[in-house]
């Protein structure tokens, strides 16, 4: 569990330092600068294995975005979580995902992208880590700027009147 939690830490660092810019094509910029970023992460104490897993995770997310593998579901559909998903995210995070969907912060497509990325990590996430994964996925998904802004408010505990 420690290794996978560290992968989330690397992802959080990459998001805060490199991905949360207004710059276009920032995912490709991070990939292009992978060697220099990796060196910096190693200097900060992250292990090479964790760093590589984080970069691979981001590259897989970009591929999923390009392929749009998730077919749309009817809005009246109910998502049933697998036992594996329940073990990885827990009841609290499942409730949070439902809340985000009910408030139109998440769409069925972004929810499925999030769940795919959680399963790709393969280790249980606490509620805080789950929020970061949601934010990273929303950031990578075109047209989700408002949803991302709301998630940033959740992450950084800012008071917002946007959800009523």
In the chain (164 residues long), the average pLDDT of successive 10-residue segments reads 65 82 53 82 89 91 74 71 93 93 88 93 90 90 82 64 45
Q: Does any domain span residue 160? A: no
Is 18 exposed, middle or buried (CB count within 10 Å of its CB: 0-12, 13-18, 19+)? middle
The Cα 99–Cα 49 span in angstroms is 34
Total number of domains constituting the chain: 1
Tokens of 16: 């805060």
* CA–CA dist 11, 128 (Å, integer): 13
The answer as to whether 28 is a domain residue is: yes
Expressed as residue numbers, the domain containing 94 is 2-155
| Tokens coding 87 | 């073990």
User: In which region does residue 159 sit, left (phi positive, over 0), alpha (psi from -120 to 50) or beta (all else)?
Assistant: beta
For 99-125, letters b (16+ CB in 10 Å) and e give ebbeeebbbbbbbbbbbebbeebeebb
pLDDT at 140: 85
pLDDT computed for residue 143 by the predictor: 82
164 within a domain of the structure (yes/no): no
> Does residue 162 lie in a domain region?
no
Quote the pLDDT of residue 104: 87
Residue 143 lies in a domain: yes
Please give the model's pTM, rounded to 2 decimal places. 0.80
Within-domain flag for 122: yes
Residue 58 lies in a domain: yes
| DSSP of 8-50 | HHHHHHHIIIIISSS-TTHHHHHHHTHHHHHHHHHHTT--HHH
pLDDT digits (tens, 9 = 90+) for 2-48: 444 479 999 988 888 877 655 544 555 566 688 888 998 988 889 98
Does some domain include residue 163?
no
């Amino acid at each position: 569990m420690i290794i996978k939690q560290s992968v989330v830490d690397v992802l959080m660092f990459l998001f805060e330092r490199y991905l949360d810019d207004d710059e276009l094509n920032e995912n490709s910029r991070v990939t292009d600068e992978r060697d220099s970023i990796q060196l910096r992460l190693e200097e900060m104490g992250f292990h090479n294995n964790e760093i590589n897993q984080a970069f691979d995770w981001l590259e897989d997310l970009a591929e999923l975005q390009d392929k749009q593998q998730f077919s749309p579901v009817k809005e009246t559909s109910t998502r049933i979580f697998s036992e594996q998903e329940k073990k990885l995210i827990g009841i609290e995070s499942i409730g949070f995902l439902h809340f985000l969907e009910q408030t139109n912060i998440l769409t069925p497509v972004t929810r499925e992208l999030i769940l795919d990325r959680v399963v790709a990590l393969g280790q249980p996430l606490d509620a805080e880590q789950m929020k970061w994964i949601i934010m990273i996925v929303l950031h990578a998904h075109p047209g989700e700027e408002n949803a991302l802004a709301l998630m940033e408010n959740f992450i950084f505990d800012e008071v917002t009147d946007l959800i009523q």
